[in-house]
Structure 1
Amino acid sequence: MNINHAPLYSNISDLRKSPSRIIENSKDELTAIFNHGDLVSYLVPPKVLNELLEMKADKESLSRIKKMKLSEAVDIDIDDL
């Protein structure tokens, strides 16, 4: 069973008939697309995708920071740069 995490939903038939209407009705929200009752895809607006990609980048940065050997860090004077 697929769990829908989107606030909006549509079916594949309506998407085929009028993709512009489905996109316009999404109002920048994540929209789940169903086919015969099964979740098959999500329409992801650019704003939501950018937020997801930023969160992913932040998570990857945190992972790299945790792997750093901070004992190797060196204090520097900003004027020396």
Structure 2
Amino acid sequence: MAHRGEVKATVTSVIPLPEQEEKELKETLQNIPGQGKQVKLEKKIDPNILGGLVVEFGQKVFDMSIKTRAAQMERFLCEPTNLDGK
């Protein structure tokens, strides 16, 4: 792929992306590797993420899944709260 100037991006979603959303995502990702590189999308379906997307692009992972957001919220809610403002 590198020889052909291609960069792989793996997109995980709960359901297949509608064609227009896939096109817009690919256009957005195309700006990351720079000129002369072509983004190739690899699509995965994983109902465990509950919703949203997980995009793996080279060494970067953009986790916008509901599963991760819910885990972050749970950690936030379990933290001790200081009600006296100190």
TM-score range, shorter chain: 0.3 to 0.5
Which of the two has greater strand per residue? 2
The normalised TM-score by structure 2 is 0.34
Greater helix percent: which structure?
A: 1
Q: Which has the higher contact order (CA 8 A, sep 6+)?
A: 2
